[in-house]
Structure 1
Amino acid sequence: MKRIISLTFILVSSLFLAQNTKYTDAEIKKKLDSIKAEGNLLFSLENSSWHSTDLARENKKINGNFGGYLTYKNNDTVKTVILHKDRNLVIAEYSFTNNSKKPIKENLYQRNLNSNENNLKNIRSKVIAQLSDPKYEVGVPNGFNLNIITIPFEESYKNYVITGSSEANVIPFGNDYLFITDKEGNIISNKKFHSRLIPTMTSMPEGGIVTMSTHSHLKTNPFISATDICTFKLYAPFTKLEEFSVYSPSLDGYMIYNYKKDSLIKSKDFK
């Protein structure tokens, strides 16, 4: 029988300290509910992107003309459209509901981009062009990649940047960002959730299995992030992990997320 190993990764996610901010229990619960909802939205979009691009790569005709993708929510459906390499046509469209792994609908006919898709394409292109500015400190660690999730937000757009990994035994927490842009795609505010990549191993070289994962946030970023939840939900099904926690000295406790229960709670101790 394989040796079961429980590891706790206590890692620092910010470089600066701040004064304690006091929250009531009701304020904490409201904040955690909001973060969980945002994390689930990010996951639903990235889940569609993952499975759609896999399907597109498996289709020789589509793969030969693959020029990127766009993912967005349309009522209760999440759609990913595959762009022609010239980026002026949609060459495949996949529709998902309830975070399923298989699309409920596939459309492999070429068509023009609609107005929403054109907007998303232009926003993403403009954001990507701005990310090379050193002031944003966006980096790509060796062996990893960056994925952008764009969400309409009032009259603006939220552009989350999360780190991805092709390795099955790593959950790539950290190295994640949020860029708010105006409707033309100009960055008007930005946030870095963690100071660096936190590559959490889920198995050990000698065959041991990781059953618990924790990282720590400092006082400048006291709450679990929506990107934490999204990343965990993407990678946890390939592991033995069902939950992870973030320790917050500012809140004097752990925030524990369980992806099978979709529960997010604050606890004095990790249980």
Structure 2
Amino acid sequence: MKTLFCESKIKVILFALLLLCFSLHGKAQTAPKKLIAPSPERFQAINDSILAEGMLLYTFEKLAWQATDSLMKYNVNRAEINSATAIEDGNLTWRYIFANLDKEQTVFELTFHLSNDTSFYVSSATPRKLKPNEIELLKAKRLAPRKVIKEKGDSILLANTSGLNWDLIPLEKGGYRLYLLHGTTKHGVIPIGDDYSFDLDKEMNVLSWRRYHRSFLEQPITMNGEEIKEVMHSHTPMTPYFTTTDIANYMLYGHDLYRIKRFSVLSTAFADTSYLTTFDVEKMKLTSTVCPIEKH
């Protein structure tokens, strides 16, 4: 039953959408050998970790969207702003700070409370002195993209340079992970690809980097005049799993803008077996289904 289900599902979805893409890590450019699939328990643990980090990235990006929209709503003087960042306070509470680092004070600040049942924010345009941890994070947010472009700019390959978004996430082990996402202003499409991450230490030295997809696609959400109920793209062997950037952009565009609730990635990275990994937004679950590859 699983085989028939996968074959039928893949044929239907691939007819609507197929993006052939792969990821690169470091400077490796050659395709790796086929991998041995992890145990079901290990596979699910990997998916759970990807989902958690992807939803964190989505939160950073979503708050940036909402906070930036509020600048116009409250007629904030943008000329005073030279850095901005999201800060997690815990208990589903976040702050988004627009600041002037030269004066070491806030310009505009929003406090968000996020939950499944209700979401609200409180704004403040009254300047206050920045706290030391805020200054550190704001400086890192401003410096990290410059450092990455200087050291790795030749390795960043993009379809175009419009709609680029940088998100800096502090790591529990120390240092930061800087994400580069490619968004879109076009209506009725979901951007997939042109996405990177860079791990940096606290001194802003680039320790490692990753390219998640080889190409860029703005996937239409309609086909033959009908809305697509589920979106899928394909990863070649250099991308074994769903990616955190897939989670973030599917949530931002596919779910939040167009109310699509299921997103899938077909991976052919594993020997003799392909996997269909599906992100079910309603269940908030990322699961993989075995789809055996027929030999001819």
Normalised to the residue count of structure 2, the TM-score between the two structures is: 0.80
Amino acid at match of 1:263: K
**What displacement does 1:233 show?**
0.7
Give the aligned partner of residue 95 of structure 1: 111
Amino acid at match of 1:235: Y
RMSD, matched Cα: 2.5
Q: Answer whether contact 2:83 2:138 (CA < 8 A) is retained.
A: no
State the distance in 1 between where 2:138 and 2:76 align: 22
Structure 1: gaps of 5 or more residues: none
Is 1:194–2:210 an aligned residue pair?
no
Residues 42 and 51 of structure 1, relative CA distance in 2, 3 Å threshold:
same
Give the aligned partner of residue 43 of structure 2: 28
State the distance in 2 between where 1:172 and 1:208 align: 19
Ranges of 4+ aligned residues in structure 1 off by more than 6 Å: none
Is 1:262–2:271 an aligned residue pair?
no
Paired-residue identity, %: 22
The structure number with the bigger radius of gyration is 2
**What displacement does 1:11 show?**
2.1
State the distance in 2 between where 1:59 and 1:199 align: 32
Q: Answer whether contact 1:146 1:164 (CA < 8 A) is retained.
A: yes
Amino acid at match of 2:180: V
**What displacement does 1:86 show?**
5.7
State the distance in 2 between where 1:143 and 1:42 align: 20
Q: Answer whether contact 1:10 1:215 (CA < 8 A) is retained.
A: yes
State the distance in 2 between where 1:208 and 1:27 align: 38
Q: Deviations over 1:146-199 (max 9, x none)?
A: 232322331211112211222231211211111111112121111111112232
Give the aligned partner of residue 8 of structure 2: none
Residues 241 and 9 of structure 1, relative CA distance in 2, 3 Å threshold:
farther
Q: Deviations over 1:23-50 (max 9, x none)?
A: 1111101100111111111112222111
Q: Deviations over 1:39-73 (max 9, x none)?
A: 11111222211111111122213446444421121
Give the aligned partner of residue 119 of structure 1: 136
Written as runs of structure 1 = structure 2, the 5 A alignment for 1:139-218 is: 139=158, 141=160, 143-203=162-222, 207-218=225-236
State the distance in 1 between where 2:78 and 2:54 align: 30
Q: Deviations over 1:52-109 (max 9, x none)?
A: 1111122213446444421121223221111249674211211223367853322221
**What displacement does 1:210 show?**
2.6
Q: Deviations over 1:113-167 (max 9, x none)?
A: 2222211222222221123243432536254322323223312111122112222
2:237 to 207, 219, 244: 219
Q: Answer whether contact 1:171 1:202 (CA < 8 A) is retained.
A: yes
1:56 to 67, 71, 96: 71
Amino acid at match of 1:105: V
Q: Answer whether contact 2:192 2:246 (CA < 8 A) is retained.
A: yes
Q: Answer whether contact 1:10 1:216 (CA < 8 A) is retained.
A: yes
Give the aligned partner of residue 248 of structure 1: 267
State the distance in 2 between where 1:99 and 1:231 align: 20
Residues 155 and 85 of structure 1, relative CA distance in 2, 3 Å threshold:
closer
